[in-house]
């Protein structure tokens, strides 16, 4: 009898003649970009599989092709258990049954690896660099007992002048980051 591993190997080998298999997922450098490239190539590869390929086989193929490091990281994933349906009660609306997450579902694995490789911040600006305080980049302008009287106060015109380029740069960065996240800019 043919084992599932042998069957999976056969499916991969049959597909290898049709499409190039993706390189293993790298967890060095820009991991978010590495993930995007890997999953794009994986999706193309999966499209070339025979029609009878099961969801479980595709999920195991994702892990196999992602490589040994990805397989080790998958072992740390926490899969949500099934959540039974809940009837409406008072102000609480009814909720349909939510099936359990499984390592044998491609979309579940994609979601878990997406969270691992490109975690989204809780707050909109959690990853945004904050502009440094006025004079922070110039140690000679920091107030010290010797130059405290000549140090710029936060309300001085010179301090405002120095903050404006930093704030403009920060604003441009936020616009660029938003456009990139919305897919309007490609790398």
Burial class (CB in 10 A: 0-12, 13-18, 19+), 93: exposed
Burial class (CB in 10 A: 0-12, 13-18, 19+), 171: exposed
Burial class (CB in 10 A: 0-12, 13-18, 19+), 42: buried
CA distances from 38 to 29, 63, 69, 78, 177 (A): 14, 11, 14, 22, 22
Longest dimension (CA), the chain: 87
* pLDDT, tens only, 87-146: 888 888 888 999 999 999 999 999 999 999 988 754 444 444 455 555 444 444 444 454
Burial class (CB in 10 A: 0-12, 13-18, 19+), 184: exposed
Highest-confidence segment of 14-23, 96-105, 173-182: 96-105
> What pLDDT does residue 51 have?
87
> What pLDDT does residue 22 have?
92
Comparing 67 with 147, the larger pLDDT belongs to 67
Closest CA to 46 of 70, 28, 19: 19
CA distance 110 to 81: 18
CA distance 145 to 61: 66
CA distance 166 to 172: 10
Mean pLDDT over all residues of the chain? 75
65-86: average pLDDT: 93
47-61: average pLDDT: 92
> What pLDDT does residue 136 have?
46
Comparing 29 with 148, the larger pLDDT belongs to 29
- Which backbone phi and psi does 84 adopt, to 5 degrees? -65, 160
70-91: average pLDDT: 91
């Amino acid at each position: 009898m043919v084992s599932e591993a042998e069957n999976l190997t056969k499916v991969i080998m049959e597909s290898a003649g049709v499409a190039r298999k993706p390189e293993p997922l790298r967890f060095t450098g820009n991991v978010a970009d590495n993930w995007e490239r890997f999953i794009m190539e994986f999706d193309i590869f999966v499209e070339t599989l025979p029609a009878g390929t099961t969801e479980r086989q595709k999920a195991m193929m994702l892990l196999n092709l992602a490589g040994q490091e990805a397989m080790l990281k998958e072992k740390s994933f926490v899969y949500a258990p099934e959540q039974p349906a809940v009837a409406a009660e008072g102000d609480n609306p009814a909720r349909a049954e939510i099936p359990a997450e499984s390592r044998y579902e491609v979309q579940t694995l994609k979601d878990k690896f997406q969270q691992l490789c490109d975690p989204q911040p809780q707050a909109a600006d959690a990853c945004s660099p904050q502009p440094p305080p006025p004079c922070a980049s110039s140690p000679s302008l920091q107030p010290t007992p010797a130059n405290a009287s000549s140090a710029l106060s936060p309300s001085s015109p010179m301090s405002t002048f120095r903050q404006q380029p930093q704030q403009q740069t920060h604003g441009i960065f936020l616009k660029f980051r938003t456009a990139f996240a919305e897919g309007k800019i490609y790398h």
